[in-house]
Structure 1
Amino acid sequence: MGRDWWTGAMDARLPAPLRPGDTIAVTAPSSGVPPTLQPRLDLAIAGLRRRGFEVVEGVCLRDTTDTHVSASREARADELMALLVDPDVHAVIPPWGGETGIDVLPWLDLDLLAQCDPTWYVGFSDTTTTMLPLTLQAGWATLHGSNLMDTPAVESNKPPVRTLTRAGRARRSASGAVSITVVVPTEIRTAITM
């Protein structure tokens, strides 16, 4: 891992790809999930499990008092740090952003994180408050993508279905599933499977 001599920026290190059987941790570095939304959280976590992932919940995740944050800033930072450095955790996904995520920054040990193997940290909106120093100062690639509570709520045992059909077409089936055709040249297909 090197630094750019001009800007001081680090090369971003990519975590290993996620595979079924890997562990995903869910914690709230900002706002905890209030009791009224916990059934929705349970559906989102069940969706991860249906896809073959092990899921661990942080103690800061569920806000039992409905007070906007489920723990002190120190406790939320300690939990986030513990999950990010745990070699058995392959991804950390907050339920959502939240304006109180900035409160944990002074308690994140970015020097320690720079020495650890990276873990996927996924989210957007206010989650970028904690993602940005993780990338710029610890050199970890983070994933700007859906927060856990924004994933589709599906109660089925089957994951949402997407199929590939004829080249150059996108269609919607009677069930509402979207079929998208992607033509991948042989040399790219070979590189992906290597």
Structure 2
Amino acid sequence: SDSMYDGRLMPAPEVADHRLEDLGAADRFGGAVCVFLDTAGKGWSEERDDDQSYFNRLQSERVIDEARALEKSGLPWSKIAIIAGYRAEVRLLRASLGAELAAGLEVATVDAFQGREKEAVIVDLVRSNDDGEVGFLADTRRMNVALTRARRFLLVVGDSATLAAHPYYRAFQAKIEEQGGYRSAWSI
């Protein structure tokens, strides 16, 4: 809201306090409704496929673990989505989540998920490199779409060292830290 709408966009009062716990799911993040899971320093480097689309094998494994933890906490697969920044990452995730997809989990690119919502959304930012290259993640309108698809809980998984080169992500990370939603992949 701050970066795209100058802080003027606020949730309606009737939904402002909605939490996953209202649906019977356990709280894994101390009440935070927006969490940034920082993978910096893990060595989970991005790769490119034959179509020149990016994927991040090790980060995708962590994203899968987080989705499974949400389901195990009591949230049905039909209420969870994973949005990835690149088609190659979506393909990688889908290849590992056959049973979960059959049970209602959705895995899609930002563009494919536009206009839709889920109770819990995991956004996989994929990019992790030493040069701070974020590619089309620099299109903040696209990221605004990804970051506003969650009704009750948003988990963003990304490499802060790569993302910090871009002002939008620096501001996003600062806001998440201010709200108590920062977590390191090293600690959880």
Shared fold (TM-score greater than 0.5)?
no
Q: TM-score of the superposition, structure 2-length normalised?
A: 0.37
Larger Rg: 1
Q: Which structure has more strand as a fraction of its residues?
A: 2
